[in-house]
Amino acid sequence: MRLAIPFLVASVLVAGPVAHAAGPKEVASADRSLWPDPIRTPKDFDRASRAENLAFARALGELEGSDAATLSTLLGVKQVHEDSVRRWLGEVKGRVAENLKAARVACAAPSELGCAGAAPTAANVVSLGQAFAEDVPASHQAWLEMATRFYGLYAKEQLRLAALFPGPTSEILTLAPGEVTGSDWPDRQFLLTFDDGPTPAGGGTDRLMAILKARKANGIFFVLGDSLKARQTKTSAESLQALYQGQCVGSHGQTHTSHQKLATWKDSLEGSRGLIASLGIQGNAKVLFRPPYGQRSEELTTFLKGEGASVVLWNIDSQDWNAKIAPAPMTDRLVSLMLLWRRGIVLFHDVHDKVHVALPQLLDFASAAGLQWRDCKSL
């Protein structure tokens, strides 16, 4: 690792009130039309996955040698937390190495795309990525140019969250044992999740349910207590039971506010999950909580663990809430990130329309590539 860690200490500031960590100035969006090969089989998935992981590893190499001043300017943050940056880089390079190992099982010869070089390790993935880029065939050059831009931005998105952690906390790193991110699941397993609902009757939540039911798919809906109560008041408990039939419902708190330093976090948790339980819409045995913005405290996570409940985060962010990315490149972003991480939890919002464009295409992609959607009741 070449990151100039000693210089990072000088840029760590005393943490003030928890911010909401607004999104990056520029969002990584992909263009899958530049990948020249169809992805119609598990072997096609592995081939593309090798290329995505190597392109990402190369992007990591462009960042890890930066000093604190450079990172502060590059990421648009005033504070850079040394331990979090080091931990994130170590974890992510280890995951890339494991992903490459899994994807290389499909290699019949070193001459196949992404199959050459030493056995992947956390220590050598950057050099493997650099060698790969230097030897990419002409047929894949347009894709490589796009992927270089995409992973350059995506790596900065992720590193920015790591630099801020734990002030505020986010999905980028776990805060305590038992938090669910999907990063350590078996290869090719994914889960759909949807935040911030429900919408008023006839809105985005209903449209999304129609897609899921038609495709015999399910996911976890992390609802806001106030929104759920408002819909119940205007409809009925029976209509909500019908709406969420076959799905799982978890708490997103009473309102969409950071729970990291919220004095009433316990009231927010107990009020929202109590309403879910009273309506009979939970769908699984375990109480699941997703903190707004991924922001939580050790006290909150310890409390939930003591009650046999779980904090559920994510590792694949659609950015569907972000006006800076259109539906098509957002969908391509998701496909690229599924190829990269090979497992995990996809974050959508049922209150934003882009999910209605992306979800059918994502389900088709997963079916062709031999991927598995985890049953929401398995958590």
Residue 20, in any domain of the structure:
no
Helix (H, G, I), strand (E, B) or coil at 215: coil
Cα distance from N-terminal residue to C-terminal residue, the chain? 35
Q: Is the pLDDT of residue 154 over 60?
A: yes
Residue 9, in any domain of the structure:
no
Residue 172, in any domain of the structure:
no
Taking only the tens place, the pLDDT of each residue in 262-311 is 999 999 999 999 999 999 999 988 999 999 999 999 999 999 999 999 99
Q: Is the pLDDT of residue 55 over 50?
A: yes
Rounded to the nearest angstrom, the gap between the alpha carbon of residue 105 and the centroid of all alpha carbons in its chain is 25
Residue 254 sits in the same domain as residue 357: yes
Query: Which among 17, 207, 184, 5 is positioned nearest to 99, based on CA atoms?
Result: 184
φ and ψ at 362, to 5 degrees? -65, -40
Q: Is the pLDDT of residue 82 over 90?
A: no
Average pLDDT rounded to a whole number, residues 116-144: 98
End position of a domain, from candidates 164, 181, 212? 164
Helix (H, G, I), strand (E, B) or coil at 248: strand
Amino acid at 103: A
Residue 150 sits in the same domain as residue 207: no
Taking only the tens place, the pLDDT of each residue in 1-48 is 334 433 333 333 333 344 455 567 789 999 999 999 999 999 999 999
Residue 357's pLDDT is 96
φ and ψ at 292, to 5 degrees? -55, 135
Query: Which among 172, 181, 182, 150 is positioned nearest to 88, based on CA atoms?
Result: 172
Residue 212 sits in the same domain as residue 96: no
Where in the sequence is the domain holding 256, given as residue range(s)?
189-378
Residue 113 sits in the same domain as residue 255: no
End position of a domain, from candidates 148, 164, 180? 164
Residue in the block written with tokens 């000693």: 6
Structurally, the chain folds into a number of domains equal to: 2
Residue 113 sits in the same domain as residue 63: yes
Residue 371, in any domain of the structure:
yes
End position of a domain, from candidates 164, 199, 223? 164
Residue 177, in any domain of the structure:
no
Residue 171, in any domain of the structure:
no
Residue 184, in any domain of the structure:
no
Are 248 and 219 a contacting pair, CB within 8 Å? yes
CATH number of the domain that residue 336 is part of: 3.20.20.370
Residue 58 sits in the same domain as residue 130: yes
Residue in the block written with tokens 């974050």: 347
Q: What percent of the chain has pLDDT over 70?
A: 94
Residue 148 sits in the same domain as residue 220: no
Taking only the tens place, the pLDDT of each residue in 84-110 is 999 999 999 999 999 999 999 999 999
Query: Which among 87, 86, 68 is positioned nearest to 78, based on CA atoms?
Result: 68
Across the strands, what pairs with 139?
Answer: none
Q: 3-state DSSP: the chain helix, strand, coil percent, rounded to 5?
A: 50, 10, 40
Which tokens sit at 3? 């990151």
Residue 226 sits in the same domain as residue 312: yes
Those residues with Cβ within 8 angstroms of residue 112's Cβ, 6 or more apart along the chain or in another chain: 47
> What global pTM score does this model have?
0.94
Are 266 and 302 a contacting pair, CB within 8 Å? no
**C-alpha–C-alpha distance, residues 149 and 29, integer Å:** 9
Query: Which among 94, 88, 92, 93 is positioned nearest to 166, based on CA atoms?
Result: 88
Those residues with Cβ within 8 angstroms of residue 6's Cβ, 6 or more apart along the chain or in another chain: none
Average pLDDT rounded to a whole number, residues 74-85: 89
Residue 248 sits in the same domain as residue 108: no
Residue 48 sits in the same domain as residue 115: yes
Average pLDDT rounded to a whole number, residues 345-357: 97
Residue 78 sits in the same domain as residue 212: no
Residue 152 sits in the same domain as residue 197: no
